Amino acid sequence: MEVLLATFSALFSVVNPFGATPLFVALTEDLDQAHRNEQALKSCVYMIAILIIFFFAGTFILQFFGIRLEDIRIAGGILIVRSAFQLLSPGSHKGKIIDKEVKQEGMEKDDISFTPMAMPMLSGPGSIALTIGMFDKAKGYTEYIYIILAIVLVAFASYLILRSAIRLNKFLGKGGMAALSRMMGFIILSIGISMILNGLLPLAQKYILH
């Protein structure tokens, strides 16, 4: 249960579905509620598939390219810290920052569930790096099951948030969304720093202390 709660809290913070709501609202403003809910559901199903694939295959992908797990932790931690600073900066109520080209592509598509919603908005580089790191820390099949369950629960929570995105934005307003973004940013910053330290310490022990 501790693994489930720890995984859920860390992954939910990095996925940060609240940060994806402004873009989701913008891309689905011409859809009725039923179609908007369908796009939200498909986005979260794709997110589950992406994170589970990287959870199991990530280590083998790293080995194929000769990348150490410590390297991915440091790189992922840096990306997460960068995302945290974006959330802590003014204008954070506008949600996660996304390339203009990707946003424009989403505006022109009928189905925005895989791109840009599932990737990179929900399952971006930070959440993928965090998921890969979890595989190495897990101890046995029981913890694998808890981690997969946590991914599914994060996706379910993200679905509820996305399908309520319009009401949520109206209820919280710009001030509420900015305050929520800063709270999430602080948590994400802590997770990013922890990932960087978890990558640096083994390298320091290997090359400096020995």
Min mean pLDDT across 1-15, 27-41, 103-117, 141-155 is at 103-117
Instruction: Quote the tokens at residue 174.
Output: 């710009």
Triad 190, 187, 98: Cα angle to 5°: 100
Q: What tens digit of pLDDT does each residue of 182-206 get?
A: 888 888 899 989 999 988 888 787 7
Map tokens 């599932």 to a residue: 118
Model-level pTM? 0.86
Q: How confident is the model at residue 97 (pLDDT cuts 50, 70, 90)?
A: low
What kind and span of H or E run contains 159?
Answer: helix 141-163
Interhelix angle 17-27/33-65, nearest 10 degrees: 130
Q: What tens digit of pLDDT does each residue of 47-78 get?
A: 999 999 999 998 888 888 888 888 888 998 89
Q: How would you class 177 by CB atoms within 10 Å of its CB: exposed for 0-12, middle for 13-18, buried for 19 or more?
A: buried
Q: Which sequence spans correspond to the domains of the chain?
A: 2-207
DSSP 55-123: HHHHHHHHHHHT--HHHHHHHHHHHHHHHHHHHHSTTGGG-S---HHHHHHHHH-S--IIIIIIIIIIS
